[in-house]
Each structure stands twice: as C-alpha cells, then as structure tokens.
Chain A
C-alpha cells in the first residue's frame, strides 16, 4: 500500500542514530531517570487488547540496555525479547507489523522500539501456553489488558499461565492510545492522514493531516463491532452509539457467501469484485437520478437488492459478493457516523480499528461518503496504527497509572 516500504527505511535510519545520541548523553540521562526508575515497572512492558476477533499486543523493546543490565537480565526475559524481536511471525497466525514499529521512542526514560503484534483471539490458548512455557509469570505479576477478552479470559490467564491481568476499560485505553501515538510520531509518514478529492477516484490521493487541535472529534472504532465516541478532551468523552455491523460482520458474511476464511482473502476478493452487480442502484429503479430527493443514479438503493432475482444471483461472482459486503458494511458505518456527527455537531471524524487494516477500499469509501453526503462539511481522518490504540493505551496505563 501507498509506499509502506518507505517508513521501514526511514525508521531504520532513525534507529541508527539513536544509540549514538544515547551514548553522548548517557550519564545525564541515567541520573535524570533515577527518580523515574523507582516508579518504573520492571521489564517486559506489554500492553494487550483482546478483542472479539483479534488480540493486539504492543511490546516495548528497550534499546538502551547497558552491559551491566544485560548481565542482570534474567534469562527468561532475554528469551522473550529475542523471540519477539527476531521473528516477524509467531506460530501460524501471529504477525508482527514491522512497518508500524516505532523506533527510538522514549518511554519512562528508556529508549527503544515499540512493536506491534497481532494474532486471532481463538489462538489465545496457544499464546497462554507459550507464556507458560517461557515462564512469563516469573517476570512480573501484572499484565495490563483491555478489550472484552480481558474479562472473558481473565481466569484462563490465571489458571493456564499464572498471570494476573490488570483489566482496563477499552474505550479509555483507545483514546489514550490515539492521543499518545499521534503525539509521538513525528518522523516518517504522518500518523494521521486523509484523502484529498475523495469524490474523484482519479485525483484521490492520501495526504498527511496534522491533528494539532484535535477536539472535539468523533472517534469511530471499527473492530468486530463498532463503537462511536465523541471526544471533547483527553478525559472527557462519551460513547454516542455503536453498531453490531462491523468488521466481524464483513468477514462473517464473506465466509458464508464466498467460502473464504481470512480477512486478507476476503479483501483480496473484494478488490476484484464489482458491487454494482449485487446491489440495486437508484438508476436500476429510476433509470437515472431520483431528482426529487437529490439521490444520484449511482447511489445504492438496496444493498444486495439484485440478489432477489434468480438470474442475477447466477451471474454474480464470489468476488462481487465480497465487494458488495464490504461496501454495504462500510456505507452503513458511514451513514451512522454521519448522523452522529450531525447530532453531536462535530466536523472531524477519526476512523480506527482493524477493519481498516490494508483496507484502502473502505477508507476511500468512508472518505467519500463523509464528504459527499455532508457536502464537504465532514472530514474523514485515518491513523496509521489503525487497530493498536487500545493496546497502546493499556501499555501507557502500566507505565503511568492514571
């Protein structure tokens, strides 16, 4: 996607500078952080968000480890660090999103790299098994976790891996994570971006956006389901509404309709399909625009509406069905979001959540829908770290308990 290879290169360069900086100011930094050190939790630093479909894990890898520290470091800790940082895939389903990692990041006086890892929630038992085999519990006793799974699997963590979860509210974590990541990313591609000319496919391009004065904003988190939050300040937000038609619905329906089994597969199919063969458009009914109510002919009048006809059912491909599912779910989220923005009188909307991962189709659709139906009043914004903010928020809670 749009030059995702670049950030790695840049970040690597930036990472290269970090040790030398660290060396020059090593002693002062050490002294300054002495006070911090006392309150600083021991390594390893994790933040976890256990959602309905995916577990998101952020791991901070300290890069400023002194030789002395290295010696002190227990073997278990070292092995976890090595395992996580030397691999980009774990088991068959765990993945480290290398392109998202944040290098040269200073957290609690320590400098290092923030890694972003995900795996399906149904593989949580395997993860716990690994934690057990790597004697994770010997390192420290609390693991900050958010998302519904923090509640659902709390006892599994205890019994299977001897781990005590520190459970956190997912929306608190989400907002904290968004604000933090946006504030620390200064190099590489802008964390926040939007689509310029969203209504013109040929001229539609991604542009950086500075989220300097972010409030008020509507935060739409599209995971398995969708939550919509109105955020007025870091500590003042409300959940406006939500919908059960989210990423889980897209994937679930795609699995039923096309027999696919992964999100990537579903997206790949969608990118090759044509939703207008599945959906009934205004022009299919009116022959053109429905002028009286300002509905253009290309607008969808009935999602999947063509599938009522037997011939049309026989002529659509699985890719068409996948595309229509994607468009339906995305447009619906767009509609609800737009109504919420109107009701809350907010003009900026930030879409996050793993439904948007590698899903430019949906992002452009959302950008388009926000712009078109609001006649340019609403701006759809996106963030590079899409689905990881909850986990980041959980990590921050570990470091700076609120």
Chain B
C-alpha cells in the first residue's frame, strides 16, 4: 500500500508523517469509470477532482402483472448507475506517484483534457501531460474558487461555520441562506484576494506554514508587539482602545535588548497578518454592505489559531456586525470550480448534489496538541465525494422563514450528553443492522463479507464522530442515520428491510377493509379519535391504549378544527411500511378525502430503514384503490397524489425537497402539513415553523429521548399548530361534514 508514500518520503522534509495510510484504490475510487479530470495544485497540497459513475444495487419493487398469490409485489435488486464527484486532497510530494496510479487505472480513453488551476498548475503542467497523456487546460484561479464556493454553499447544507474558540463546540454550523448571494470571499493563500460575489457570473475584485502555526500556537505575542498598555500604561479610554490591543506589531523588537523566542515572533506575525486581513475584509464588507464573509485558503485550512484570530479581528473591527464564516471544504473550492468549468456540458449546476458521508473524510484538525487524529492525518489523503441526486432539491414553500429553518431538533455537537447517548446507541445497534443486511441478501454468499466491511466502515465513522463531532457539519441523529444509510449503500445493501416491508405490507393489506369498516361504524367524533390513534399506533408495534392527556396533546384543538371547514389540501409526509401506512395513514387520508380535502402523500425516493418508499407506495395505493372506492375516486379525480420527497433518509429536511413536490404543494394551495413518526416529527422538524396549519405526531420509541422530553417510553406527541395571525377557525359554527 505505502508504495506511493515510500517513494517520495525522502524528498519531503516538511511532513510529519510520510506514509500513506490508505491503499490508493481506496483513495482514487471509481477511476475505471472516471471522466473529466480537474486538478488544483497549491503551494503544498494538490486537489484532484474527477467525475465518475458508480454502479449501485438499488432495490426496485414491481407489481405483478396478474394478482399473484405468493406476495404483494416483486422485489429486485438492480444495478443502477449514478453520477459521483470525487475530490481528493494530498500533499504535493505524492503528486508523481498519484499520477502514475491514475494512469495505470484509467480506462476511459475518451478523456483528453485535464482542467488545472492553482499556482502549481504551471509548475506541474509538463509532468501531468507526460504522465497522464492529457492536455492541461489552465483555468483562472479566482474564477474556480468562486464557482467552487457557490457549489458547496448550494449543495452542502452545513458547509459554513462560525469558529468559537472557547465554546463547548468550536464549530458552529450555519444553515445556508436559501439565497447565497451576495457574499465576500476572502482567499488567503500566499497572497490575499478579496472578492465580492453577487451572482453566479458577476464578480468584483478588490485586492513552511504549518510549522510556523505550530510555533505560533505556543507563543506569546505580547513580548514582541507593542501593546496599547505599553504606550499608555493602561487603556486609551477616550477611544475605547483597551490596554491589551496591539498598538504596533513587532514594535518591541526594535527597542528591547533581549532576544525573542521563535514562538513569540511567530505568534506576533500571525496576529499581525490575521488582524490586517480581518481589517481589510471588514473595510470591503462595509463598503459593499455585505454581512457574509467567507474565509478560505491555506492560511486558514482548519487551523484553529488563524480561525480564532480572524474571527476576533472581524468582531473587533465590525463590532459584531459581520461574521467571519469558514467553509468545511474550503480546500476543495479551486478543484471543484475547475472541475465544474470542464463539466459544463454535463450541466452540473442543474442538479442537486449531496455529500456522501461514506466516502468523504469530513472536517478534521482542531487544536493540534489535543488531537492525535490530525497528526495521523498529515501525510494521508482527504476525500470528498458528492453524489448527483436524481432530483433537484428546493425549500418547502410552506416554511415560515426558510433562512432560519433548522431541520434538526437536537444539535449533538453542542450537547455532549446527548451525543454520548446517541453514539453509543448507534454503536449498540450495529450488530442488528449487520445481521439484517445479510438477511436481506440470503442468496448472495459474499454478502457476509460485505456486511463486515460495512460494519468496519460505520464503526470507524462513529469513532471519528466521537473524536470530531463536527466532521460532517452539526452532528445530529439525522446525520448518524444518514451516514448509516450511505455506508449500507456503499457496500451494496440498498434496502435491508425490503423483505420485511414486503411481508408487513402484505399482512396489513389483508386487514384494510376490515379496519375501514369498523371505523365507519363509529360516530364522527369517535372516528376522528380512532383515526388519530391509528396513525400513532401504526407507528409502533406494541402500543397499548395510551390514556390522554398525552405528553404533548393538542388533540382537542385538532378536533375542534375538524368541525370547521375542510382544508384545501393536505401534504402528508408518511413514515413506515406495513401497519403504519396501510392501517394508520390510509384511513386517515380517506377521511380527509371524504371531507373534501385533497391529499398529497410524500414518501421517500429511496429506501431508509422500514420507511415506505414511493415505489412501494404506488403499488400499495393501487391495491387499496382496488378495494376502496374512496381512494379509487381520489386517484381518478387527481385529488389524491403521490409524490417523492427527494430524500432517502428516515428523517426529513424541509429545505431539501424534490422540486416537483414543491410545485405540487404550491399549485394545490396546501394549507395543512402532516408529519408523522420519530424521524420526521421528533428528531427533525419538531420546532419547524410552517406558514400553514401543521400536525406533528409521533410515539417516542426511545426511553432516553422520552425522558429528555419529560415523559416515559411510548409517550405520545400530538402537536397541532396554527401559524400566528391565522384564525384557527375553532369558532366555526356547526360541524359541516360529519356523518
């Protein structure tokens, strides 16, 4: 494995660790299908980008032509090809061996050109052309950076963060504002570039490092710098300049007789440069009236000392009006931009992309002393993989304030207790997940081997997250679940629950008519309660009759509302297969349709746990329609619509939904959103504020979480909310539809 490393270790003197700790084929993945290369060569790091396709098993369901006795539908795992972007970062010392590796594994001979950017592109042009036989096509550095920045801001929800040295979690991730423009990009490489970015196209330009930073982190700048107190003896009160501000950088080195330690000088230099850059950035931000300033470049590169000094300086100069923002993937911006330039004919910007947690290394390197992880990383490779999503993702148009929407209820990055609990929880559940994965592919002998690889990968991710909770943005239950799904997919376990779901759906369907009949026999009021119970109970296997009041209980308001006029259209985010969807959700939907409310059922595009997928739901709904004239009429008259959420997660991010869903929601003037289940209504969206009425229901199936929320296991959350300013219509006179 370490052939790359060994070959070059003698020539690199500045790296701490000279071996590559991953086999090259785990770094340069999917090279055989790679096309469109781009490379960004900086002063010390090279970033390589390529577009590739991944063959993946995907679970498909297909309705049998004739009513089969055996089972409801046919499950097949098919190979599907999806697009993936690979970005790899490594030290320049490895460039030659990496190029060799790529040449040896490059199959696609259609590739003729490699886009190149960065200061080193010039220097290595000849080498690249010789090694790869590709023509080097140079791209402007700043343009690439800006393109790259736009791309990550648009596609990676937790891309930007604020750095807070003394907070519990150093990284505070920001939800990206739906409109990313305008912003100021400050790139601190060997020089500093400050660019104002207003739209995709319009740009306005204004104007052995690691070792040094390590020195700096130990130094005391006050022995070298002349501080305000050195001149004033204290603070300069009338100007509000405190005594410990630097009045003259390096001012003491001219007068003091004693020598200075390297550490102190490095620290002083760092302060000087950081303050200076911060000040200039503020002046530009002020001049152009910008409040978002992103910092990138190798000077920052995840170094806590520089992030801290820059943050401090920005705060000082703008009195908090401007926030210094840093980017999780700042090192990749140039490579991403160069790549996008070369891939223009594939229209990468027309798609939505998602970070693949399984293939990406995540953010590393905090305090150098505290994190042995970082040291281990030096001399190794860093990777980012982005999957092209099948659909373009947009905000739910019904979010009250898209710019402040945060899907996740709990930020585990900031809540150490919760973090500890959930990480252990996921670790303990790993055996079960592995077992289920194997069971889902009984006829494939090598499934066991793959399942072990999955186990290793996911366990490693959990360990990483324990050390660096911020590796992929804010750590949340959602990100833990999503990471698991990505890892399962990575090892070709597209849908471990497929058979279980099939069995449960089959079972539940048999009871559908009976359930509907018994509901119809109830009085209107009794039926409403039974329907709600059905949705709640379907969500959990062993739910007994839970006495009201529930833990969160606005059932009375909901009932009152139902006595009023029907909703125009309800958007229902569904949860599990089986009893939940068939005996819980469908009767509820049926009642809504009967009331005159249109229904949009939103289900996952891809599988996650035992959640019903859009494909499955299509078949199930047809089956139910065959038994139930109400559902049939709904489908026929286009009053019941099935849409994909665009997600393959057991949780729900309302800011990244299928564009079609958003369109349907808008067209139908949706005035009620129903979100059910723990993943979608508790772990996420519990605090989400919508501009229309909403219903969030879940049974808390986790005793720790129940306790956190002040209840017991299987406590019920039934949260009916009416946005402020909208009458809840409680006072409407006689019930209109009850029969």
Query: Residues on A close to B: CB < 8 A?
Result: 51-53, 120, 122, 147-149, 151-154, 169, 171, 223-225, 239, 241, 243-249, 251-256, 261, 280, 285, 287, 292-295, 300-303, 305, 308, 332, 335-336, 339-340, 342-343
Residues of B within 8 A of A239 (CB): 239
> B275-292 interface mask toward A, CB cutoff 8 Å, 1 = contact, 0 = none?
110011001101100000
Residues of B within 8 A of A261 (CB): 254
Task: Mark the stretch among B227-235, B567-575, B677-685 that contacts chain A.
Answer: B227-235
B255 at the interface (CB under 8 A from A): yes
Which of these, A224, A255, A335, contacts B247 with CB under 8 Å?
A224
A160 to chain B, nearest CB (A): 15
Which of these, B189, B239, B272, B284, contacts A249 with CB under 8 Å?
B272
CB-defined A-B contacts under 8 Å, sample of 16 = A51-B231, A147-B231, A148-B247, A169-B238, A244-B246, A244-B251, A249-B249, A252-B226, A252-B252, A256-B260, A261-B254, A287-B122, A292-B143, A301-B191, A305-B190, A336-B279
B43 touches A245 (CB 8 A): no
Once the chains are docked, how many angstroms separate the CA of A225 from the CA of B228?
10
Once the chains are docked, how many angstroms separate the CA of A248 from the CA of B122?
38
B250 at the interface (CB under 8 A from A): yes
Known: A148-B247, A252-B252. A308 touches B190 (CB 8 A): yes
Known: A256-B260, A292-B142. A148 touches B286 (CB 8 A): no
B234 touches A151 (CB 8 A): yes
A248 touches B260 (CB 8 A): no
Which of these, B190, B236, B249, contacts A248 with CB under 8 Å?
B249
A308 touches B140 (CB 8 A): no
Which of these, B208, B233, B248, B279, contacts A241 with CB under 8 Å?
B279
A349 to chain B, nearest CB (A): 15
B31 to chain A, nearest CB (A): 31
B265 at the interface (CB under 8 A from A): yes
B265 touches A225 (CB 8 A): no
Nearest chain A residue, comparing its CB with the CB of B206: A339
Known: A224-B226, A253-B253. A342 touches B234 (CB 8 A): no
Residues of A within 8 A of B245 (CB): 244
The interface on chain B, measured as residues whose beta carbon lies within 8 A of the other chain's beta carbons, has a size of 47
A248 touches B226 (CB 8 A): yes
A131 to chain B, nearest CB (A): 19
Residues of B within 8 A of A120 (CB): 255
Nearest chain B residue, comparing its CB with the CB of A223: B248
B276 to chain A, nearest CB (A): 6
A251 touches B254 (CB 8 A): yes
Known: A52-B251, A148-B247. A245 touches B233 (CB 8 A): no
Residues of A within 8 A of B199 (CB): none
A148 touches B251 (CB 8 A): no
Once the chains are docked, how many angstroms separate the CA of A285 from the CA of B117?
12
B203 to chain A, nearest CB (A): 8
Known: A248-B226, A294-B205. A224 touches B248 (CB 8 A): yes
Once the chains are docked, how many angstroms separate the CA of A52 from the CA of B246?
12
B225 at the interface (CB under 8 A from A): yes
A225 touches B248 (CB 8 A): yes
Known: A153-B233, A224-B226, A245-B276. A252 touches B191 (CB 8 A): no
Nearest chain B residue, comparing its CB with the CB of A246: B248
Max count, chain A CB within 10 A of own CB: residue among B142, B247, B287: B247
Known: A151-B233, A245-B272. A52 touches B226 (CB 8 A): yes
Nearest chain B residue, comparing its CB with the CB of A150: B232
B230 touches A292 (CB 8 A): no
B317 at the interface (CB under 8 A from A): yes
Nearest chain A residue, comparing its CB with the CB of B225: A244
Residues of B within 8 A of A245 (CB): 249, 272, 276
B190 touches A301 (CB 8 A): yes
A256 touches B251 (CB 8 A): no
Max count, chain A CB within 10 A of own CB: residue among B205, B228, B248: B248
> B115-128 interface mask toward A, CB cutoff 8 Å, 1 = contact, 0 = none?
00001001000000
Residues of B within 8 A of A336 (CB): 279-280, 283
Residues of A within 8 A of B272 (CB): 244-245, 249
B190 touches A151 (CB 8 A): no
Nearest chain A residue, comparing its CB with the CB of B237: A151
Residues of A within 8 A of B224 (CB): 252
B207 at the interface (CB under 8 A from A): yes
Which of these, B43, B140, B247, B265, contacts A52 with CB under 8 Å?
B247
Which of these, A241, A285, A292, A300, contacts B119 with CB under 8 Å?
A285
Query: Residues on B close to A: CB < 8 A?
Result: 43, 119, 122, 140, 142-143, 189-191, 205, 207-208, 224-226, 228, 230-234, 236, 238-239, 245-255, 260, 265, 272, 275-276, 279-280, 283-284, 286-287, 317
Once the chains are docked, how many angstroms separate the CA of A339 from the CA of B207?
11
Once the chains are docked, how many angstroms separate the CA of A122 from the CA of B256?
10
Residues of B within 8 A of A224 (CB): 226, 231, 247-248, 251
B254 touches A149 (CB 8 A): no
A252 touches B119 (CB 8 A): no
Nearest chain B residue, comparing its CB with the CB of A253: B250
B253 touches A256 (CB 8 A): yes
Residues of A within 8 A of B119 (CB): 285
A244 touches B231 (CB 8 A): no
Residues of A within 8 A of B140 (CB): 292
Once the chains are docked, how many angstroms separate the CA of A53 from the CA of B230?
10
Residues of B within 8 A of A343 (CB): 283, 286-287
Nearest chain A residue, comparing its CB with the CB of B190: A302
Once the chains are docked, how many angstroms separate the CA of A255 from the CA of B191?
24
Known: A148-B232, A244-B272, A308-B43. A252 touches B239 (CB 8 A): no
Nearest chain A residue, comparing its CB with the CB of B204: A293
B190 touches A225 (CB 8 A): no
A228 to chain B, nearest CB (A): 10
Once the chains are docked, how many angstroms separate the CA of A127 from the CA of B499?
94
Nearest chain A residue, comparing its CB with the CB of B240: A239
Which of these, B226, B252, B280, contacts A335 with CB under 8 Å?
B280
B278 to chain A, nearest CB (A): 11
Nearest chain B residue, comparing its CB with the CB of A263: B254
A252 touches B280 (CB 8 A): no
Once the chains are docked, how many angstroms separate the CA of A256 from the CA of B142?
34
B251 touches A340 (CB 8 A): no
A328 to chain B, nearest CB (A): 10
Which of these, B232, B255, B275, contacts A244 with CB under 8 Å?
B275
B251 touches A225 (CB 8 A): yes
Residues of B within 8 A of A301 (CB): 190-191
Nearest chain A residue, comparing its CB with the CB of B238: A169
A293 touches B142 (CB 8 A): yes
Nearest chain A residue, comparing its CB with the CB of B268: A252
Residues of B within 8 A of A303 (CB): 191
Which of these, A148, A305, A339, contacts B191 with CB under 8 Å?
A305
B280 touches A339 (CB 8 A): yes
Once the chains are docked, how many angstroms separate the CA of A343 from the CA of B287?
6
B647 to chain A, nearest CB (A): 40
B43 to chain A, nearest CB (A): 7
Residues of B within 8 A of A149 (CB): 231-232
Which of these, A148, A255, A293, A332, contacts B276 with CB under 8 Å?
A332
Residues of A within 8 A of B208 (CB): 308
Once the chains are docked, how many angstroms separate the CA of A148 from the CA of B231?
5
Residues of A within 8 A of B248 (CB): 52-53, 223-225, 244, 246-249, 252
Residues of A within 8 A of B276 (CB): 243, 245, 332
B190 touches A53 (CB 8 A): no
Residues of B within 8 A of A152 (CB): 230-234
Max count, chain B CB within 10 A of own CB: residue among A171, A246, A252, A342: A252
Q: Which 10 A-B pairs have the closest CB atoms?
A: A148-B231, A248-B248, A152-B233, A252-B250, A248-B251, A339-B283, A224-B248, A252-B253, A148-B232, A293-B205
Nearest chain B residue, comparing its CB with the CB of A281: B191
Once the chains are docked, how many angstroms separate the CA of A280 from the CA of B233?
39
Once the chains are docked, how many angstroms separate the CA of A292 from the CA of B205?
9
Known: A305-B191, A339-B284. A252 touches B251 (CB 8 A): yes
A255 touches B226 (CB 8 A): no
Nearest chain A residue, comparing its CB with the CB of B44: A308
B254 touches A148 (CB 8 A): no
